């Protein structure tokens, strides 16, 4: 399992004040992939530039797919640009992959999936691992979950993220999610104004 998969599991498992948006989650999953690829030695961050390294395998289909999509041409791709490019419908890709592997199952009752279908997490080692990371207050997972709107209660002794590259990615994810929310609000205002014109 990867941080991205663990984040998806936590998003399905935890209650939140509002439904987690597919766009928000897709951006966070793309960020989690950058962190995982860095941990696997498939890339290094030079500032906010993602510099790929050859020969690193991750043993995860979606993460290997992400590695294959890295830009190998200087000046390389910025993390922010990657989030928007890779993040397009990435939540749906993770949902489909987990469903195909039997880790998400259709239920008559249960949580709404991102596609509007009733889905539920299956009891699996993957779910157990994700919940263990959550219970252990793993700082990267907590930070990504908080960005997408999952309530996080961090004890005072929770370790902070100290890796500069990881911090760069987390900041980029936060900024991208805020930008997406601003776009939503602007569209909502424009839609309301347009409706007022027709009613007037």
Q: pLDDT > 70: what percent of the chain? A: 82
Where does the pLDDT of residue 12 fall: very low under 50, low under 70, confident under 90, or very high at 90 and above? confident
β-pairing verdict for 118-121 and 49-52: unpaired
Average pLDDT in the 97-102 region? 89
pTM, rounded to two decimals: 0.85
pLDDT value of residue 170: 96
pLDDT in tens, 13-70: 876 556 788 999 999 999 999 999 999 999 999 999 999 997 667 889 999 999 999 9
pLDDT at 92 over 70: yes
- What gap in Å lies between CA 163 and CA 157, rounded to an integer? 18
The residue extents of the domains of the chain are: 3-199
Residue 125, classified by CB atoms within 10 Å of its CB into exposed (0-12), middle (13-18) or buried (19+), is exposed
């Amino acid at each position: 399992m990867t941080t991205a998969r663990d984040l998806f599991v936590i998003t399905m498992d935890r209650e939140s004040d509002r439904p987690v948006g597919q766009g928000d989650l897709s951006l966070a999953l793309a960020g989690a992939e950058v962190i995982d690829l860095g941990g696997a030695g498939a890339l290094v961050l030079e500032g906010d530039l993602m510099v790929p390294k050859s020969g690193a395998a991750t043993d995860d289909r979606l993460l290997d797919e992400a590695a294959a999509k890295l830009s190998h041409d200087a000046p390389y791709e910025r993390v922010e640009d990657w989030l928007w490019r890779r993040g397009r419908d990435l939540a749906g890709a993770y949902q489909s992959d987990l469903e195909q592997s039997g880790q998400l199952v259709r239920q008559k009752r249960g949580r709404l999936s991102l596609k509007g279908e009733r889905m539920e997490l299956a009891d699996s080692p993957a779910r157990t691992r994700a919940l263990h990371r959550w219970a252990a207050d793993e700082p990267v997972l907590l930070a990504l979950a908080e960005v997408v709107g999952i309530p996080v209660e961090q004890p005072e002794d929770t370790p902070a993220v100290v890796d500069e590259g990881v911090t760069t990615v987390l900041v980029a994810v936060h900024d991208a999610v805020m930008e997406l929310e601003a776009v939503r609000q602007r569209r909502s205002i424009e839609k309301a104004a347009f409706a007022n014109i027709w009613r007037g």
